[in-house]
Amino acid sequence: MDYREQALSYLRLHGPSTPTQIAKHISKDGMMAGAILSELSANTKVKISSIKVGSTPLYFLPGQEDQLQKFNMHLNEKELRAYALLQSSKVLRDMTCDALTQVCLRAIKDFAVPLQVTYENQQEIFWKWYLLSDDDATLEIKKLLEPPKVEKPQAERDDKKIKDEKKEEREEKREIKKEKIQPSHSIVQSTLQTQSQPTQQAQINDDFYSLIEHHCKEKNITIHSSFLVKKKKEVNLIISFTSALGEVKYFCKAKNKKKISPEDLSTAYLEAQDQKLPLVLLSSGELSPKAREFILASLKGVLFSQLS
């Protein structure tokens, strides 16, 4: 079982968790766990909360949103009041809320979903409790927009009924148009994006690739396949060379970069795991001190070679 599946398995069992908890479970450091979770988030396999436990967000699986309520104690006092108000009211009309509540509703992104409503040619914002369905939210909004009718005497009701029946044929029923606003979640942008790599049978016409080929010939390395990820910057290869154990096949990430960072290593390592192969990283530059420490501490078995 690779580390990503271990992380997913932990989340299935324990629900929303911090990177530290997941790192402990997979026996990796926080940086490696963060890289794995970033990739899972980029592939929409996990979600990241806006609410923070200490200084870190929570990671959780789609469908575990209701479990975020267990962490409401990490909201500040003012946000917690807005949270409780929305939970009990189900829907709040932004224009009727005081300024402080408006600010807090915008801050508790995990629990308050903004809705833009067009009513009588005017647009305004409503907030729905995050677990409330869109259909139920529509009903609640209609209640807020249409005040309760005052009962009239029977004679007046009969007279009005006749008038209404005549008017009904010409009158169209007013509709409330509702659409979701895309909330501006402050989500950590993933640096680990899965590369789509079509097989390239033709010779790659690229200066950086020529440098890689020259290096491999000098080192008696066989190139089995290659994928140009980014022109003059990055190439993925499947290579093999002879070792004391015989011929060994590797996934090779080649980067035209002055300094290789721990993030570069994490990305390459996860791609090698996808190929079920050990990793060789080639670079025109060198490892940063942190990257060198990262290999020694967490990525034993990873090989690094500087292009000559």
For the full predicted model, state whether its pTM sits above 0.85.
Answer: no
Would you give per-residue pLDDT tens digits along the chain (308 residues)? 588 899 999 999 999 999 999 999 888 887 888 888 989 999 999 999 999 998 899 999 999 999 999 999 999 988 999 999 999 999 999 989 888 888 899 999 999 999 989 888 888 899 999 999 999 999 999 999 886 666 666 656 666 666 666 565 555 445 444 444 444 333 233 323 333 343 343 467 788 999 999 999 999 999 999 988 888 899 999 999 988 778 899 999 999 999 998 878 877 887 888 788 999 999 999 999 988 888 887 777 889 999 87
d(CA 225, CA 202): 10
| pLDDT value, residue 306 | 92
| pLDDT value, residue 182 | 45
Q: Domain coordinates of the chain in residue numbers?
A: 3-65, 75-180, 207-306
Which residue reads 């677990």 in tokens?
Answer: 131
| pLDDT value, residue 49 | 96
H or E stretch at 101: helix 99-107
Q: What is the CATH class of 207-306?
A: alpha beta
**CATH of region 3-65:** 1.10.10.10
Q: Let me know: does 26 contact 6? Beta carbons within 8 Å.
A: yes
User: Which DSSP state fits 38?
Assistant: H
Question: Distance of CA 100 to CAs 82, 95, 97, 105, 113, Å?
Answer: 9, 12, 8, 9, 17
Comparing C-alpha atoms, which of 187, 81, 67, 78 is closest to residue 130?
67
| pLDDT value, residue 130 | 97
Q: Let me know: does 208 contact 307? Beta carbons within 8 Å.
A: no
Give every CB contact of residue 113 below 8 A, 6+ residues apart in sequence.
127, 128, 129, 130, 180, 183
At position 282, the amino acid (one-letter code) is L
